[in-house]
Chains A and B, each alone.
Chain A
C-alpha cells in the first residue's frame, strides 16, 4: 500500500506482463516481426524517465526476481493483473502467455490476478481451450488483441459472429472483464484498424460483461470517449496514458485526463503500468503527486481529489475483480456525481 501525505492508496496495477522476447524464442522465418515487435515496445519505454530505461537485452527477457522487485518491493503495487498476448506466430512459446503468467502467479499467492485470452479464429478448439484455461487458472478476465496475425489473417473484429460465440462462452464461464487492445493491422487494411465501434457493438450485446478499452482507445480517444458515454459497461484502461504521456508530454497528459474525467468520470478509469514497458514506481508516485495545471489552457478541467486518485489507482479495478480492499481504504460513501459528458 502506498502512503503519501497521510493518505493511503491500495494500488492495483491492472496491466502487467511477464514476457519472453529473447531471440531463442523467435520463430524461424519470422525474426523480423519478433524483433520489430519488441523494439517497438522498447521505444515506448523511451517515453518514461531516463533513469528507468533498460537496455534492449534486459528488456527482451527479464527474471521473476526483477519483476517482483519492480512491482511489489519498489513499485508500490498491491495486486497486479496479468494481461497475456500470445503472438505465437512470431514467438515459439508465445510472447506472454496465460501459462507463463499463471505459473509465476502460483509461486506468489495473493499478488496476481491471471487473465487469459482468446482468438475467435480458433473455432471450436479455441472454445475448448478457453474453458480449460479458465478452469486451470481461475480467470475472471480476458485480454483480446484484435490485430494479432494468424496465418494470412491480419486481425479480427468484435463484431463477428465468431467473437459473439466466444463472448457468450466467457459469460457462461464466469468471466466478467473483457480487456480490448487495438492494434494497427486488421482486415481489411483499408479500414481504420483502431476503430472502436466493434467494442460498442459487443458492449451493447453483452451488458453483463465489462469492457476495458486499453490505452483509452488511443489513437482514437475521441471515438472512445463518445462511445463510453453511451455504454455503461465500458471502462478506460490507462496503460500508456500514464506511462507514455505523464512524463514525456505532461500537458497532453493533463488534457487527456481532463477529457477522461469529463466524458467517463472517476469510476471508469483503471490504472495500469504496462510493465515491463514502464516500471510502476514512477507512475504511482507521479500520479499521486500530479495535479491539473493551474493555467487558463486547462480551465475546462477540474482538479483531481485524493479520493478520485484512490479510485483510479486501485479501487475501481478491485471492484471489477472482487479483490479484498483493506478496511481502512473502503471507499467512503459519497454523493454520486454524474460525469458532465453523459447526455441526459
Chain B
C-alpha cells in the first residue's frame, strides 16, 4: 500500500516536472508557473489527467494548440504513464484543439480550412523574441561602462539561470551558443551585431523584454480575475 502510494506520488511529481518544461511560447514561461495547469493527477495504474486553462475564452488558438500539444507530448514521454487525458477547458476552440491533439492531427488537420501551415515558424518567431528579451536580462547585471559589448562572448558572462535560458533558446533555434560565441547577435541569422547597430539592438532587446513581461503581467492578472484566486 505505502509502496504503491509512493510510486503514485513519484509519478505525479514526474508528470508535474514534465509540464514544467512546457512553455507558453508567447510569454516564454512554463505553463505551471503561469497557473495554466488547473488539474494534474496520476493514479496508481499510471493514468494521468491534466486540465489546462487560459486567461481568457478568446486567447489565440494557435498558441493554445501548441501548449496542449506540447503538454501531451511531454506527459506521454514520462516513464510509467499508461494513459493520458489532457484537455484545454473554458476556451472557444477547446473542442477542436482537444480532439485534434488527441488524434495527433496537427494544427492544419485540426483547423480544417482555417490554417495553411503548422506552427513551426510561429514558434521560431517567438523563440527569436525570447533570445532578444533574454539578452536584455543577462545584460542588466553588467557594468556596461567597463565592458566592450560588441566583443563580449557568452563565456565572459557569469553563470546564471538567465544565461542558461538564453543559451537554451539559441540552441533550439540553431544559433551559436558556445562559450566563444558573441552575446549580441541578430536572432534572425546569428550574425554578430556591429558597433554601428549597437544602440538600436539594445533598444529592441529591452523593449522586447518589457513587452513580454507586460504581457505576462496582464495574462496573470486576467487569469486571477477569471478564476477569482488570490482575492483580497
Residues of A within 8 A of B (CB): 32-33, 36-37, 39-40, 42-47, 152, 154, 183-185, 187-194, 218-222, 225-226, 240, 244-245, 248-249, 252, 255-256, 258-259, 262-263, 300, 341, 343
A256 touches B122 (CB 8 A): no
Q: From A43, A194, A249, give the contact of B226 (CB < 8 A).
A: A43
- Shortest CB distance B40–A (Å): 23
Whether A185 contacts B56 in the complex (CB less than 8 A), given A245-B218, A252-B214, comes out as no
- Shortest CB distance B126–A (Å): 8
Q: Which of B113, B122, B210 has the most CB of A within 10 A?
A: B210
For the complex, what is the distance from the CA of A240 to the CA of B225, rounded to whole Å? 15
Residues of B within 8 A of A (CB): 26, 55-62, 92, 107-108, 111, 113-119, 122, 125, 129, 132, 200, 203-204, 206-208, 210-211, 213-215, 217-218, 221-222, 224-226
A225 touches B58 (CB 8 A): no
What is the number of contacts between chain A and chain B, taking CB atoms within 8 Å?
127
- Shortest CB distance A251–B (Å): 9
For the complex, what is the distance from the CA of A259 to the CA of B226, rounded to whole Å? 29
Q: From A40, A43, A184, A225, give the contact of B207 (CB < 8 A).
A: A225
For the complex, what is the distance from the CA of A300 to the CA of B207, rounded to whole Å? 12
B221 touches A194 (CB 8 A): no
12 extra interface residue pairs, beta carbon distance < 8 Å, beyond A183-B58, A194-B60, A249-B217: A36-B92, A44-B222, A46-B226, A47-B218, A47-B225, A190-B62, A191-B122, A218-B214, A219-B218, A221-B211, A222-B208, A255-B213
Q: From B26, B117, B132, B208, give the contact of A188 (CB < 8 A).
A: B117
For the complex, what is the distance from the CA of A187 to the CA of B204, rounded to whole Å? 28
A36 touches B221 (CB 8 A): no
Nearest to B132 among chain A residues (CB) is A222
B108 touches A184 (CB 8 A): no
A248 touches B221 (CB 8 A): yes
B221 touches A249 (CB 8 A): yes
B218 touches A249 (CB 8 A): yes
**Chain B positions within 8 Å of A189 at CB level:** 61-62, 107, 111, 114-115
